[in-house]
Amino acid sequence: MDALSRVTKTDLKVFLRDLTFFRWGGIIFISLLAVFGFLDKTSSLFFIPILLLLNFSTYALTYFNIKINTQVFLGYLIFDSLFIYFFVAFNGGVHNPFAYLFLVQMAYSAQFLSVKTSWLIALYLTVLYASLFFIHFGHNHHEHDMNYFYHLLGMLITFALLCFFLVSFIAKNLKKLDMAKRREQEGHTLAMLGAFAAQAAHQMGTPLNSLNLLVDRVFDEKSESDKGEYLDLFKSELHRCTKILKELSSKASMNTEAERELRPVQELIHNVLSEWYAKDKVEIEIVCDDTSLLAPGGNTIQYALLNLIDNAYEAGAKKIKLHASAKDSIVKLAVEDDGPGFPTEVLNSQNYEHGLGLYLTHATLKLYGGELSISNTANGALAEAKWMMN
């Protein structure tokens, strides 16, 4: 993406695909007009090879993996608009309704190019359209009375206003869309940072507690040999802390493209439990109604689920059940435990402000079009994480 546009490689591929489709439609349409006598055959023999040449050049870009950039986009835009111009000029001039195909070019410019470049394209297309009022190749001029002049002037003003509307409306809405995407990305980044922080707190808790106990024992111990043993353990736990921080830092710097990919829910559960420090201290039951259920990739959703099972364990649960199901393209992963249940103030709170883990989980699920709901059952607590499967 450069200063001329906001177009990406994917946008360019979509544009070239649409352009190729429209050209094939033009070839078929011009051929039919020539066959049924609505278009001079000499004219059709001139324009059809041009469209074929443009299409073959587009295919060549894809076939030979030639780099596609904004200059290519502008080049095709200008060539196709000139094709429309000469086709209309040779076939009725401004009275040919296909002159309004210029607006298709204008719509693509407003969507993909910068606002400044779009205004230049609007001026360029308006000049082309205006010149059709004075150039009628192979046709006699209409009688030039004032009514005809006002008619042409009205057509020109209408075209210019349509170009103005397209640039203003599309650019304004795209700006709003860009701002919304940035806010969403910022929220996603904050949720990821919060998830990493929560994960760090969980994983660092055990070695830090061990270090605290070892320090107390070192000060209480009088034997130098025992002190040496405790110091070795102390060093081991510090090494463990350093390793955890390096792993978290490495995961945090991973490409966010992984967040957009999908993976099986069973894989998500397996990854969570493989990293959970307390997996051997509780009984875990896993139920998955359908092996085709999908979950977002990356670590964000993983840490969100880790928060839920951590909450259950820290509340005193001895058994945790993970149940994955789906309804109407919405995946539900229920985390049920046999602990004391959620406190009343947590159940009655809004946005889960009484618990950092629940708040981060709720914020993460919202990024994926989902939500978190909590309740108490007859046997303990129930937390249900939901997200859109697609």
Domain ranges in the chain? 9-141, 188-252, 259-388
- CA atoms within 13 A of residue 81's CA, in its CB half-sphere: 24
Residue 362: both structure tokens together? 């709720």
Which pLDDT score, from 0 to 100, does residue 319 have?
A: 94
Q: Give the pLDDT score at 354.
A: 63
At residue 323, the pLDDT reads: 95
Query: Could you give the C-alpha distances from 74 to 15, 103, 110, 257, in angstroms and in order?
Result: 11, 15, 12, 29
Q: What average pLDDT does the segment 138-166 reach? A: 74
Residue 318: pLDDT band (50, 70, 90) is: very high
Q: How far is CA 9 from CA 13, 57, 114, 248, in A?
A: 6, 18, 15, 32
| Average pLDDT over the chain, rounded to an integer | 79
Rounded Cα–Cα distance for residues 155 and 120 (Å): 20
pLDDT at 4 over 50: yes
In the prediction, which pLDDT does 148 show? 72
**106 vs 94 pLDDT, higher one:** 106
Interior CA angle at 315 toward 313 and 318, to 5°? 50
Angle between helices 224-252 and 146-220 (to 10 degrees): 170
What is the distance between the alpha carbons of residues 78 and 101, in angstroms, rounded to a whole number? Answer: 13
Instruction: Choose between 242 and 99: higher pLDDT.
Output: 99
What does the pLDDT average to over 305-312? 87
Of residues 26 and 249, the one with the higher pLDDT is 26
The predicted model gives 247-267 an average pLDDT of 66
What distance in Å separates the CA atoms of residue 20 and residue 60, rounded to the nearest whole number?
12
The more confident residue out of 380 and 208 is 380
Give the residue-averaged pLDDT of 131-136: 75
Mean pLDDT along residues 40-64:
81
For residues 288-292, average pLDDT: 88
One-letter identity of residue 154: G
pLDDT computed for residue 325 by the predictor = 93
Higher pLDDT, 176 or 254: 176
CATH topology of domain 188-252: Helix Hairpins (1.10.287)
Q: How many CB atoms lie within 10 A of CB 159?
A: 22
Query: Is there a common fold for 188-252 and 259-388?
Result: no
Identify the pLDDT of residue 139.
47
Quick check: 254 pLDDT over 60? no
Over 70: is that where the pLDDT of 118 sits?
yes
Kindly indicate the confidence band of residue 331, based on its pLDDT and cuts at 50, 70 and 90. Answer: very high
Distance of CA 147 to the CA centre of its chain: 53
Strand ranges inside 206-268, DSSP E? 262-264
127 vs 125: CA distance, rounded Å: 5
pLDDT on residue 125 = 92
Contact 372, 359 (CB under 8 A): no
Give CA separation, 181 vs 175, 189, 303, in Å. Answer: 10, 12, 23
Structure-model confidence comparison of residues 189 and 370, the more confident one: 370
CATH number of 259-388: 3.30.565.10
Max intra-chain CA distance, the chain:
116
Give the DSSP H/E element, type plus range, for residue 372: strand 371-376
Average pLDDT of span 170-194: 71
Across 276-295, average pLDDT: 87
Q: Strand 381-388 vs strand 330-337: parallel, antiparallel, or unpaired? A: antiparallel
CA–CA distances in Å: residue 351 to residues 302, 355, 356 = 20, 9, 10
**For the chain, what is the total number of helices (H) and then of strands (E)?**
12, 7
| Residue 326 bridge partners (DSSP) | 331
Q: What is the pLDDT of residue 33?
A: 82
Task: Look at residue 255 and tell me whether its pLDDT is greater than 50.
Answer: no
Quote the pLDDT of residue 250. Answer: 59
pLDDT-derived band of residue 10, with 50, 70 and 90 as boundaries?
low
Judged against a pLDDT cut of 70, whether residue 34 lies above it is answered with yes
With a CB cutoff of 8 Å and minimum separation 6, the contacts of 101 are 84
Q: What share of the chain is helix, strand, coil (3-state, %, to 5)?
A: 65, 10, 25
Q: What's the average model confidence in pLDDT over 6-15?
A: 67
- Assign 3 a pLDDT band (cuts: 50, 70, 90): very low
Q: Is the pLDDT of residue 363 over 60?
A: yes
pLDDT on residue 93: 79
Q: What is the pLDDT of residue 137?
A: 44
Count of C-beta atoms within a 10 Å radius of residue 35: 11
Cα 49 from Cα 40, distance rounded (Å): 15
Q: Is the pLDDT of residue 6 over 70?
A: no
The whole-number pLDDT of residue 337 equals 95
Q: Does the pLDDT value for residue 190 go beyond 70?
A: no
**Per-residue model confidence (pLDDT) at position 124:** 92
Angle at 95 between CA 53 and CA 151, to 5 degrees: 145
State residue 290's pLDDT score: 87
Contact 263, 294 (CB under 8 A): yes
- Using pLDDT thresholds of 50, 70 and 90, give the confidence band for residue 241: confident
Phi, psi for residue 369 in degrees, rounded to 5: 70, 20
